[in-house]
Amino acid sequence: MSIDSVDVKSGRNGAAKKKDVSQITQEPVSEVTSIRTRCPHFALGDDPDTTILFPSPAAYCYNAAPPTAVKLEHQQAFCLNQQHAQCPAFLQEEPAPLPHRLRRPRQSTAPINGRRRRRIMLGSVAVLTLILFTWAGLTTFGSFSQDDLPAVPTQVVAAILPDPTETEAAVVVAPTAVPTQKPTRTAVAIVATEPPTTTPNPTATLKPTPPPTSAPLPPPPPVAQVSVPFVNVRYGPDTAYGLVTNLREAGAQFEVIGRDEAGNWWQLCCVDDAKVWIAQDALELSGDIDSVPVAENPLSHAVVEVERLNIRRSPDLEGEVLQIIVRRDRFDVTGRLFDDSWWQICCVDGETGWVYGESVSIEGLLDEIPIVNRP
């Protein structure tokens, strides 16, 4: 018989109600028991012999090949308590790659290596040298004296007077012979021509340019800082939504990207690359808070509460099985039957499926989940 029964039931606002599991018939599954309170494969990334008592970005799973950093929410839900016995990585008989949904995203920055640093320094020296040579050339060849200017030609005016003793003749004049008269000396006058007068061009009057007016600086972006030593970080703006993680010290800062309509919750970016929500009472806000838009409520989540559960194509026990999921798997809820006996979730290979209502707990606002007619 397929496993579409559960040991919990959805209550008001997603609160889980315990159900007598002795009345539930499940498919045979392997039972894993452990007396440990923490996973034996959970330790520091650089020291596999050092265990950790709290979620940490430095924590790795050593039953994965290669050892891999684990998401903080998975550490909280499995690695640090007896639920580690249900962890997919713990159940592996041999070390294998950690499932992608359990991995913590890597963050790294590539430092500037020595060769690139030397290239930058040599380029800077070359640019500085070029500037110095250019300045020296302008200083040497750009200066000149009055002697370097071209000489302006000067015209001399001379005249031949009748008495040769009074002045020297500037021009030799040949006598003209006249048969019937005595030879006479003709004076030739040289008229000085003044150099052309250059008409100065009118000087343009420069109008003063008003100084540019600087545009007002935009207000600083809104920022939220955690002001309490412990705060829950949730998927949505209500305590009915599930926990993403919790912060155990004050001072962490986040960019504010949204708020609920009442202004009691603030949407922040980001925790493990995901948008999260924190209550107003745990934050100190600064910046242009009035510009923060009202964000839509995120979809509710269906969380698997049994060891294994079938996702079916239709909301009945005869429906085709699309996929088998395990405890603590989480899916968006897109619809429900009117009696909440089946929940429509997204997505399996790009399409929605159905899970049995008593096999999951619902985290979120139930009133906002639409009722879907049975296909």
Q: Are residues 19 and 42 located together in one domain of the fold? A: no
Total domain count for the chain?
3
Q: Are residues 341 and 271 located together in one domain of the fold? A: no
Q: Are residues 268 and 318 located together in one domain of the fold? A: no
Tell whether 38 is covered by a domain: yes
Tell whether 128 is covered by a domain: no
Give the domain-ending residue among 238, 269, 287: 287
Give the domain-ending residue among 41, 65, 90: 90
In percent, how much of the chain has pLDDT > 70? 69
Tell whether 266 is covered by a domain: yes
The per-residue pLDDT for 31 is 35
Q: Are residues 19 and 38 located together in one domain of the fold? A: no
Helix (H) / strand (E) element for 226: namely strand 223-226
**φ, ψ of residue 253 in degrees (nearest 5):** -115, 145
Owning domain of residue 233 = 223-287
Average pLDDT (334-343) is: 95
How far apart are the C-alpha atoms of 233 and 112, rounded to whole Å? 36
The per-residue pLDDT for 204 is 60
Tell whether 145 is covered by a domain: no
Q: Are residues 323 and 336 located together in one domain of the fold? A: yes
**φ, ψ of residue 125 in degrees (nearest 5):** -65, -40
Inter-residue contact 365 to 336 (CB < 8 Å): no
Looking at the predicted structure, is the pLDDT value of residue 176 above 80?
Answer: no
Looking at the predicted structure, is the pLDDT value of residue 133 above 90?
Answer: no
Of 17-26, 76-85, 354-363, minimum mean pLDDT range: 17-26
Instruction: Give me the chain's average pLDDT, please.
Output: 77
CATH of the domain at 239: 2.30.30.40
The per-residue pLDDT for 138 is 67
Closest alpha carbon to 323 in 334, 338, 308: 308
Model pLDDT for residues 60-95, shown as the tens digit of each residue: 999 888 999 988 988 888 998 888 888 988 988 889
The per-residue pLDDT for 98 is 85
Of 177-186, 191-200, 204-213, minimum mean pLDDT range: 177-186
Q: Which letter, b or e, does each residue of 252-284 get, where b requires 16 or more Cβ atoms within 10 Å of its Cβ? A: bebebbbbbeeeebbbbeebeeebbbbbeebbe
Tell whether 104 is covered by a domain: no
Q: Which amino acid is at 344?
A: Q
How far apart are the C-alpha atoms of 296 and 278, rounded to whole Å? 15
Q: Are residues 339 and 303 located together in one domain of the fold? A: yes
DSSP H helical ranges for the chain = 72-74, 114-141
Angular region, 163: left φ>0, alpha ψ -120 to 50, beta rest:
beta
The per-residue pLDDT for 253 is 92
What residues contact residue 291 under an 8 Å CB cut-off, 6+ apart?
219, 222
Q: Are residues 21 and 66 located together in one domain of the fold? A: no
Tell whether 80 is covered by a domain: yes
Average pLDDT (144-151) is: 48
The per-residue pLDDT for 374 is 87
Q: Are residues 245 and 316 located together in one domain of the fold? A: no
Model pLDDT for residues 32-66, shown as the tens digit of each residue: 333 468 899 888 888 888 888 889 888 899 988 89
Q: Are residues 312 and 365 located together in one domain of the fold? A: yes
Tell whether 152 is covered by a domain: no
Tell whether 132 is covered by a domain: no
Angular region, 211: left φ>0, alpha ψ -120 to 50, beta rest:
beta
Q: Are residues 12 and 45 located together in one domain of the fold? A: no
The per-residue pLDDT for 33 is 38
Q: Which amino acid is at 44?
A: L
